Chains A and B, each alone.
Chain A
Amino acid sequence: MNGADPVAMTAVYDVAVVGGGPAGLAAAACAAEHGARVVAIDQGARPGGQVWRHAHRNHLPALGREWIQRCDRSGARWLPGAAVVDGSARDGLVVVQRAESFLVRARHIVIATGARELFLPFPGWTLPNVLGLGGAKALLDAGMTVRGRRVVIAGTGPLLFAVAATMARAGAHVAAVAEQAPRLRVARFAASLLRHPGKMLQGARYRATFARTRFRPGTWISRAEGTGRLERVVLTNGERTWTEPCDLLCCSYGLVPNTDLARLLGCTVNDGVVKVDEHQRTSDPCIYCAGEPTGVAGDTAALVEGEIAGRCAADDATLQKGSPLYVARDRWRRFTTDLAAAFHPRGELLERPDAGTIVCRCEDVRCGGIDPRWTGRQAKLYTRIGMGPCQGAVCGPACHLLFGFAPGSTRPPLAAPPLAALLPDLPDCTKL
């Protein structure tokens, strides 16, 4: 970044929030309510992130609608369809919105970049009409119709339930619901929800919505088959194997924190999780992080953490350490452990890929082309795995589990922007 001219230097926000899901909404709204000049940078066309993606506001759950309206009223400036592609806390964030690129400068940054799905490859997973669980939810919320389609829901975690329910409600025939976690672990997790009665009730409602379909724990996808598109899946519970005809498969194995921006900005990231202190501050005192990048714990935790981060970034002195907000946050954080204990992917899932199974979808690197004795970097250089546009977003977590590859370095640009975004002398966003 070049040195900026003195006039532009004054055009600095107090807080820049990156991400428009629960954590980002809470951070932006609360910081702005406290008097800070706030700008929020969100990839989505509308606020809400993944959890509150919507076509119409009246489709939103009440909590989502409330926070979005609160953010509207707070005075925070919203930049939709915008991605941070480069930058530093000191020199500003390089943002691309449509074909325009510009700099956003702020005294504090709140990273609220959420999480993405963990995909584990299996034969046939690249067929059209194989989606992730989150992918299915996102596309349904974005207007995809599934009435009359024959769907198999598989993978793991609470999202499995939610998507099965959403599919049923949308008129799809839910042919099978397969949770890879063993029955006992699922039962224990369900029992642990007694601590979070709201979530237990939500789970029960979901189950009722797809009541006609048998819920099968300890069951997973062996492979997907079809010519040019998905036509059937083969399911297994380790003893029995059977085929289920279907034209849509929704399958993924949990959530992975999106830590790329945190890495790019130089924040400490350990074991795939952004390290934060009790005030949601990262290793860089100007940068905060809230929600899933600090550990996957769900939307309620994200809201609380977003509020803490936003208020701290806005120098809210009224926020005390013992306040109910911190207590609530610590309580919701424990949900991370419950989730991880219940739904971690079982060993059999790592044996699914055969030599011909594609591991890197961007570069069509097949499992047989990877020598497990290589380091991650070696595999990348020799086969191009992780070198495509997604930069390892999909294959990285899978390769970590399959081969023990450590994540590689994060380099700019993020999100494959037009080259022009990396030119010098970008305009400041306050001038646009």
Chain B
Amino acid sequence: MAEPHPDVVIVGAGIVGAACALALARERLRVLVLDSHFAGAGSTSAAMGHIVVMDDSEAQLALTARSRQLWSGMAPELPADCEDECRGTLWLATSEADMQAAATRQASYARRGIEASVIDVGELARLEPNLRPGLAGALHVPGDRVLYPPAVARRLLEHARQLGATLREGCTAQDVRARTVIVQDSGGSVATIAAGAVLIASGIDAPRLIPELPVIPRKGHLLITDRYPSLCHSQLVELGYLRSAHTMSGASVAFNVQPRATGQLLIGSARELTGRDPAINHALLGDMLRRAIEFLPALAGCAAVRVWTGFRPATPDKLPLIGRWDAMDDVWIAAGHEGLGITMAPGTAEMIVSLMMGRTPPVDPLPFSPTRVLAASPPQCAE
């Protein structure tokens, strides 16, 4: 059942680990994937599934753009339960300043060949009649997508296994050394796995294996409604979202609503740094919902089916850690994607595989290099 000596052992079967497993299996490498629970059980299970190009930095823009392109390419193969749809994003402007920011963004997207257009309030109302009046307009990014992350993680891994990869669920990594992972299974027995290389893709749990990794959990809340298929058509996000995603301290909310293939509406976003307590923060949830209703008043009467929380693996410079971990031989990292883990999964996998195989990745890997952590001063953010 277990590979005698895998070429790569991947710690973490979330969306990033699953995408890496598939990409490595395609290179005919022997891959073993470990997960302490099951594929897609961690942050992936709580994620919104918004495939979105974002330009908080050039590096972020490059990787999200490339990764979105890879998702588009995968779309025809994804089974129906992955709920992949090309919904597009409307970044909503509430002021002239927002409209200027939209225009700046449109230009930066255009330089990368990402189709985007600034639309006026009339066109916005035509596209999304349920938005409140008085908005200034929006940036329309039609190529953004929506999918259902746990099902995607599952299917990517199934494909990887068809190509020869092995998955061990209920298997928790306790320690990592050069080319070695010490694991404990759910029965309690401990084993040592030797491999050609180790790839740590365990998100918020990555620091458990490598304490120097500055990945901290940034808690979010989501609410899903009953089915209201015509309430909105694109993913709707306020341009002020970046202000919320920017700050590494305190709690913040931003308007973010996603129509799902099921016709349900998924409502976010909230961010707070309160460790790993999954309990619902009612005050923050209330603020998030109030913001949502401000933009989309009809939401007030929609039936709220369930609320849940999840943890984004956040880093201080808002870029994931992708590449070789120089402090240990043949140990690699693919973690710390904050709210862009789903988006960046295939691009991350491509980058990892390219680096492992000695090829030049299509996206410049330098900004993502985990080495930057070793060079930097201790992390700024406190848990």
- Contact among B38, B151, B226, B289 for A422, CB-based, below 8 A: B289
Residue numbers in B under 8 Å from A388 (CB-CB): 305
Q: Check A381 against B41 for contact (C-beta < 8 Å).
A: yes
Known: A411-B280, A422-B223. A382 touches B81 (CB 8 A): yes
Q: Check A419 against B38 for contact (C-beta < 8 Å).
A: no
Cα of A418 to Cα of B297 in the assembled complex, Å? 12
Interfacial residues, chain B to chain A (CB-CB below 8 A): 38, 40-41, 45, 81, 150-151, 154, 223-226, 262, 267, 280, 282-283, 285-287, 289-290, 292-293, 299-308
Q: Check B81 against A419 for contact (C-beta < 8 Å).
A: no
Known: A391-B305, A416-B305. A382 touches B151 (CB 8 A): yes
Residue numbers in B under 8 Å from A389 (CB-CB): 226, 303, 305
Q: Check B300 against A387 for contact (C-beta < 8 Å).
A: no
Nearest residue (CB) in B for A417 is: B304
Q: Check B286 against A423 for contact (C-beta < 8 Å).
A: yes
Q: Check A413 against B38 for contact (C-beta < 8 Å).
A: no
Residue numbers in B under 8 Å from A418 (CB-CB): 300-304
Which stretch (A7-15, A25-33, A372-380, A396-404) binds chain B?
A372-380
- Contact among A383, A384, A422 for B307, CB-based, below 8 A: A422
Listed A/B pairs (9) with beta-carbon separation below 8 Å: A1-B282, A381-B40, A381-B45, A381-B150, A389-B226, A413-B304, A418-B304, A419-B267, A420-B301
Q: Check A1 against B283 for contact (C-beta < 8 Å).
A: yes
Interface string of A55-97 (1 = CB under 8 A from B): 0000000000000000000000000000000100001000000
Q: Check A2 against B283 for contact (C-beta < 8 Å).
A: yes
Give the dominant DSSP class at A's interface: loop
**Beyond A91-B282, A411-B307, A417-B304, 14 additional pairs, beta carbon < 8 A:** A374-B38, A381-B41, A381-B150, A382-B150, A387-B224, A388-B305, A412-B307, A413-B306, A418-B300, A419-B223, A419-B225, A421-B304, A423-B289, A425-B286
Residue numbers in B under 8 Å from A378 (CB-CB): 38, 41
Residue numbers in B under 8 Å from A374 (CB-CB): 38
Nearest residue (CB) in B for A426 is: B286
| Shortest Cβ gap from B13 to chain A (Å) | 11
Q: Check B301 against A419 for contact (C-beta < 8 Å).
A: yes
Cα of A381 to Cα of B285 in the assembled complex, Å? 22
Known: A381-B45, A411-B280. A422 touches B308 (CB 8 A): no
A317 CB–B CB distance under 8 Å: no
Q: Check A411 against B308 for contact (C-beta < 8 Å).
A: yes
Residue numbers in B under 8 Å from A423 (CB-CB): 286, 289-290, 293
Nearest residue (CB) in B for A388 is: B305
| Shortest Cβ gap from B59 to chain A (Å) | 31
Cα of A419 to Cα of B308 in the assembled complex, Å? 14
Cα of A11 to Cα of B125 in the assembled complex, Å? 45
A424 CB–B CB distance under 8 Å: yes
| Shortest Cβ gap from A173 to chain B (Å) | 38
Residue numbers in A under 8 Å from B262 (CB-CB): 384
